[in-house]
């Protein structure tokens, strides 16, 4: 095989060769299919969850700020496994909104641009979250647990005000249905969970 002279347009972060018409750019403006879009979202979500920065954010909430009990049962981290749950938006919805905003503005982006912006929103405290017992977290994702809005930490309203127009309609419906759940209309009683947790 003949040597191909590969060149780089450093300004555009683009690889090319005079021998081929196709150029490879680091950044994109859109996706060829819905499947490609969803794969990109899941990849970003996975990278964020596995990043050192994300782990530091979770550890800061639990270890430094001492938000280290289940907000529903009040069981402590030294008794059970406590997890930080994204609540308004979910991490998936957050990533979708960031991508959709770039696409609508015709801004070029890559995986790392989206991941960095998502992590920055975490460090700016501009997303909603709650700490939950691992089994409560599972219960929520199985559609068996309501989370009262009073328990949500973080400035989720900033995210909704800034990115609401870039959130898919069905995801926005889910968010709006969660926003109206409060301590007086949720499907459980804190006293019931407290009794179960203490074995009384």
Provide DSSP, 98-135. HHHHHHHTT--B-HHHHHHHHHHHHHTT-S-EEEEEHH
pLDDT tens digit at each of 200 positions of the chain:
456 687 777 777 776 677 778 776 778 899 999 999 999 999 999 999 999 999 999 999 988 888 989 999 899 988 899 999 999 999 999 999 999 999 999 999 999 999 999 999 999 999 999 999 999 999 999 988 999 999 999 999 999 999 999 999 999 999 999 999 998 888 776 556 554 444 54
DSSP-derived letter for residue 63 is: I
Contact 74, 197 (CB under 8 A): yes
**pTM, two decimal places:** 0.84
């Amino acid at each position: 095989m003949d040597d191909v002279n590969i060149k780089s347009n450093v300004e555009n972060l683009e690889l090319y060769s005079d021998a081929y018409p196709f150029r490879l750019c680091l950044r994109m403006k859109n996706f060829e299919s819905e499947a490609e879009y969803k794969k990109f979202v899941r990849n970003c979500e996975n990278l964020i969850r596995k990043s050192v920065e994300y782990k530091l954010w979770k550890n800061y909430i639990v270890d430094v700020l001492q938000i280290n009990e289940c907000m529903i049962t009040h069981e402590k981290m030294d008794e059970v496994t406590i997890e930080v749950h994204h609540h308004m938006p979910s991490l998936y919805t957050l990533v979708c909104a960031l991508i959709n905003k770039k696409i609508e503005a015709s801004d070029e982006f890559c995986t790392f641009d989206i991941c960095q912006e998502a992590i920055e929103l975490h460090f700016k405290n501009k997303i909603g979250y709650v700490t939950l017992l691992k089994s409560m977290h599972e219960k929520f994702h199985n559609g068996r647990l309501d989370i009262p809005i009073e328990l949500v930490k973080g400035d989720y309203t900033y995210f909704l005000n800034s990115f609401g127009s870039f959130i898919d309609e069905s995801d926005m419906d889910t968010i709006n249905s969660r926003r109206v759940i409060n301590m007086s209309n949720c499907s459980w009683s804190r006293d019931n969970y407290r009794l179960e947790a203490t074995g009384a």
